[in-house]
Amino acid sequence: MIDRKENLFDLTLLVPFMIITAISLIFIYSSSNVIANADFGNPFYFLERQIIALSISLVACSIFLFIPISFYKEQGLFLLVISSLLLLLVLIPGLGQEINGARRWLNIGPINIQPSEIIKIFLPLYLCSYCLRRKDQLESSWKGFIKPIVVTTFIAILLFLEPDYGNTAILFSIAICILFIGGAKISQLAILTMIFFIFLSIAIYFNPERLDRVLSFANPWDDMTGSDYQLINALIASVQGGISGLGIGESTQKYFFLPEAHTDFIFSIYLEESGAIGFFILFTCYLIILWRLFKLAETAKNQNYFFNSLIITSFALIFFIQTSLNIFVNLGVIPTKGLTLPFISYGRSSVIMNFVALAITLRASWEFRNKIK
């Protein structure tokens, strides 16, 4: 039972998340109804599945809200091992499902899950628990740094084999931030950063399609119907929105011009239909969420709830980094990669694990506000 001295539900966090979820449902339907009707004869095909995923998310959220934060401190390694095994299963032919040249999905009967979304939650939890238990070693010697660097590198190798460069970049970035907060030296973190760039360089060099995408990124207009087709149509959608947008449902780019309009490039359709006004609304929600999360993390640290602070900080960073990367891709700031926009893009594994992360964050916040150790 939870004795509610302080409310479990932080309205400063939940209200902007509710607004974002409403935006998600509206624009998943708006961006996908044309292709859904063409492919499945049902314009609500993707919306219906996202609503089911949201329902599952609420159930999962309710469960994780009641799990004490101490559980992750004690069982962080176990959760990491289970999620790593799921990543390994993805690479087995017949179990892992390949879509668009990437084997990222695992078929378990009628259920289709994306283990990289699960590891994105449980690797940071493990690193947080490790920093708490080995803080002195991290601060004083290289010995304490070897285990997290080996674990993070192993996970990165599994993600590269799928391949999933976007989530690899996110996990490396989160690992560096968590270990830095946990007391690791700059020289140690430099090694982890170097490993990431070595992996990235090798992966790009030996993947002709990825290499072509990077080389053509400097001037996408040179190959308008080839590797830069998706980026160009995303930019067209973003610019067409203007100040107030074309109106909900009025996108032209969703008519088979922009691939993945309801997943990786939903932000471009959002800008096209809602314009700068829509961007301001979404940006305000993001700012409120990030301000609140970092404020909670700082307060937890000041009250000597170091583990709670690390968890809240890590999930704030995941949210910030993935959101930034997705928006940068949509605006042509960085080369395209397969990353969803958190809480907005269509993606069942993604939305479920996003809400699990939110539940863990709310629990971590509630515990330190109620002085629960």
Give percent of the chain with pLDDT exceeding 70.
Answer: 90
Per-residue pLDDT, averaged over 46-54, amounts to 95
Q: Do 247 and 339 share a domain, yes or no? A: yes
What are the tokens at 141?
Answer: 């010697």
Its pTM stands at: 0.89
| Range from 229-233, 285-289, 296-300 carrying the lowest mean pLDDT | 229-233
Instruction: Say how far apart CA 97 and CA 93 lie, in whole Å.
Output: 8
* Pair 221, 349 in one domain: yes
Confidence of residue 231 (pLDDT cuts 50, 70, 90): confident
Q: Are residues 287 and 143 in the same domain?
A: no
DSSP 8-state assignment for residue 184? -
Number of domains in the chain: 2
Cβ neighbours for 92, distance < 8 A, ≥ 6 positions apart? none
Of 206, 239, 259, which closes a domain?
206
Look at residues 177, 206, 235 and tell me which one is the last residue of a structural domain. 206
- pLDDT tens readout for residues 146-195: 888 889 889 988 888 877 888 888 888 898 889 888 888 888 788 878 87
- Contact indicator for 317, 174 with CB cutoff of 8 Å: yes
- Do residues 44 and 123 both lie within one domain? no
Distance, in Å, from the CA atom of 238 to the CA atom of 253, rounded to the nearest integer, reads 10
Please say if the pLDDT value at position 289 is more than 90.
Answer: yes
**Is the same domain home to 46 and 138?**
no
**CA geometry: angle 172, 174, 176, nearest 5 deg:** 70
Please identify, among 151, 175, 206, the residue that sits at the C-terminal boundary of a domain. 206
Q: At residue 85, does pLDDT exceed 70?
A: yes
Neighbours of 92 (CB within 10 A): 10
Which of residues 249 and 332 earns the better pLDDT score? Answer: 249
DSSP string, 267-331: HHHHHHHHHHHHHHHHHHHHHHHHHHHHHHHHHHHHTT-HHHHHHHHHHHHHHHHHHHHHHHHHT
Q: Are 123 and 152 in contact (CB under 8 A)?
A: yes
Residue 17 has what pLDDT?
94
Length of the chain, please?
A: 373
| Residue 293 pLDDT greater than 60, yes or no | yes
Identify the band that residue 43 occupies on the pLDDT scale cut at 50, 70 and 90.
very high
Range of the domain at 122: 69-206
Residue 112: band (very low, low, confident or very high) from pLDDT cuts 50, 70, 90: confident
Coil/strand/helix, residue 255? coil
- Alpha carbon distance 330, 269 (integer Å): 10
* 189 and 258 housed in the same domain: no
Question: What pLDDT score does 366 carry?
Answer: 92
**Pair 196, 222 in one domain:** no
- CA-to-CA distance for 37 and 40, rounded, in angstroms? 5
Under 8 Å between Cβ of 56 and 352: yes
Whether the pLDDT of residue 2 is over 60: the answer is no
If one compares 89 and 222, the residue with the highest pLDDT of the two is 89
Name which of 171, 74, 65, 169 is nearest 119 in CA terms.
171
Q: What tokens appear for 327 in the block? A: 């928006």
pLDDT at 1 > cutoff 50: no
Q: What is the pLDDT of residue 106?
A: 81
On whether both 219 and 368 belong to a single domain, the answer is yes
Report the percentage of the chain scoring pLDDT > 90. 53
Residue 190 shares a structural domain with residue 319: no
Q: Give the tens place of pLDDT for each residue, 117-136.
A: 999 999 999 999 998 887 77
Q: What is the mean pLDDT of the chain?
A: 87
DSSP-derived secondary structure for 131-177 = HHHSHHHHHH-SHHHHHHHHHHHHHHHHHHHTT-HHHHHHHHHHHHH
